[in-house]
Amino acid sequence: MASQDWVDKDFYAILGVSKDASDEEIKKAYRKLARKHHPDTNPGDEEAERKFKDVAEAHTVLTDPEQRQQYDAIRAMGSGARFSGAPGGGSGGAAGGAGFEDLFGGLFNEGGFGGGQPRGGRGGPDFADLFGGMGGSPFGGGFGGGAPAKGADRTAKTTISFGGAVRGTTVGLREPDGNVIDVRIPAGVKEGQKVRVKGKGQQSPAGDGDLLVEVSISQHRLYERDGDAIRMHLPVSFDEAALGATVEVPTVHGERVRIKVPAGTTTGKVLRLKGHGIRRKSASGDMLVTVDVQVPAELPEEALEAVRRYAEATADVDPRDGLESKAAV
């Protein structure tokens, strides 16, 4: 912001608050006026657009402690004055207001910056003295610190489905004024990851801030994420595990793929489906399928007889052979 604006504009009056208003009072007034004059609410209304920009400008300055202190200091010293070269004021401070040197000359014991002494010479104050050692002038154009700050970022949270996190989705976030912001969630987003929506943060004449949306992901009944891999448990029957089989498996991408269960597969064996995990432009994760051999709680008599014959045929096979030696400590 130009220093001339800081002298000419009464930001407190623009927001309708007192000069000793708290940050909360300023923010509350800003939200109310921003909703009232927002361009989306007043399409084509140039006056409303101008007021909206003034309100945003006032909010930016008055909610920044450093800028507010500088602004108050300038208004106290130069209320009604115009700087050199500004509209309505001559280079020497003629006709309509004092010039830059008229406003500050007496403070530096030099009648301006054109004398032989440096600013603050002979014991006079410099900018650090005037503004509490804040490390810079409130003015732009060579002195620094005068430009308006870009609008602050805002934050929000949203929860999406497991499938939406894997494949990508779009969610609508409703603001207090009723506006809806569409947020594109990229495929492969992780729990707690923040998605940035540019230009949807706090508004400012110097550029709007961004909206940072933290993503939470709902759990799934079948799938679990492990980095870029997707894990699931696959139930298989005893005969499929013993004899081997090819079975269909549903994936998180809505596909049905066939996977081979080797003969003699036991519970806990992990089978891999390449490329069926999290898919990215550069690479794709895999789907890791853990086999669960199912033993029915009840069997018909014919099946029971078959199991008895199996037991007889494998009587010399001890599944616990060597367990004792492994248990030694």
Poorest-pLDDT segment among 8-22, 26-40, 136-150, 264-278: 136-150
| Mean pLDDT on 2-9 | 61
Average pLDDT over residues 133-153: 55
Mark whether 177 and 272 lie in a shared domain.
Answer: no
| Domain harbouring 49, CATH code | 1.10.287.110
The answer to whether residue 245 is domain-embedded is: yes
How far apart, in Å, do the first and last CA atoms of the chain sit?
77
Quick one: 11 and 123 in the same domain? yes
Is the residue at 145 inside a domain? no
The answer to whether the CB of 231 falls within 8 A of the CB of 220 is no
Give the confidence band of 195 by pLDDT, cuts at 50, 70, 90. very high
From the list 49, 79, 32, 89, the residue with the least C-alpha distance to 205 is 49
CA 281/CA 110 separation, integer angstroms: 66
What is the DSSP annotation of 62-86?
A: HTSHHHHHHHHHHHHHHTT---TTS
- pLDDT given at position 85: 35
Q: What is the mean pLDDT of the chain?
A: 78
Instruction: Indicate the number of domains in the chain.
Output: 3
Question: What are the pLDDT digits (tens) for 91-102?
Answer: 333 333 333 333
User: Does residue 241 share a domain with residue 194?
Assistant: no
Q: What's the alpha-carbon Rg for the chain, to the nearest Å?
A: 36
* Residue 82, domain member (yes or no): yes
pLDDT surpasses 80 at 249: yes
- Residue 172 lies inside a defined structural domain of this protein: yes
pLDDT bucket at 77, cuts 50 / 70 / 90: low
- Please check whether residues 252 and 201 belong to one and the same domain: no
CA 213 to chain centre: 4
Alpha-carbon gap, residue 56 to 180, rounded angstroms = 20
Instruction: Kindly state the percentage of the chain with pLDDT values over 70.
Output: 76
Indicate if 15 and 121 belong to the same structural domain: yes
The pLDDT assigned to 81 comes to 40
Q: Is residue 138 part of a domain?
A: no
Which of 130, 163, 184 is the last residue before a domain boundary? 130
Same domain for 9 and 119?
yes
Domain boundary among 60, 95, 130: 130
Asked if residue 239 is part of any domain, the answer here is yes
Domain final residue, candidates 97, 130, 163: 130
Read off the pLDDT band of 246 (50, 70, 90). Answer: very high
Q: Are residues 61 and 114 in the same domain?
A: yes
Share of the chain above pLDDT 90, in %: 43
Q: Fill in the DSSP letter of residue 327.
A: H
Per-residue model confidence (pLDDT) at position 74? 77
* Residue 255 belongs to a domain: yes
pTM, two decimal places: 0.51
Q: What is the pLDDT at residue 66?
A: 81
Confidence label for 263 from pLDDT (cuts 50, 70 and 90): very high
Within this chain, do residues 89 and 18 fall inside the same structural domain, yes or no?
A: yes
Identify whether residues 233 and 305 lie together within a single domain: yes
Residues 32, 66, single domain; the answer is: yes
Structural domain of 169 = 154-217
Q: What is the CATH number of the domain that holds 180?
A: 2.60.260.20
Judgement on whether residues 16 and 124 belong to the same structural domain of the protein: yes
Q: pLDDT tens-digit profile of 141-150?
A: 444 445 678 8
pLDDT at 179: 86
Residues 168 and 63 in one domain: no
pLDDT of residue 147: 62
Chain centroid to CA 306: how far? 62
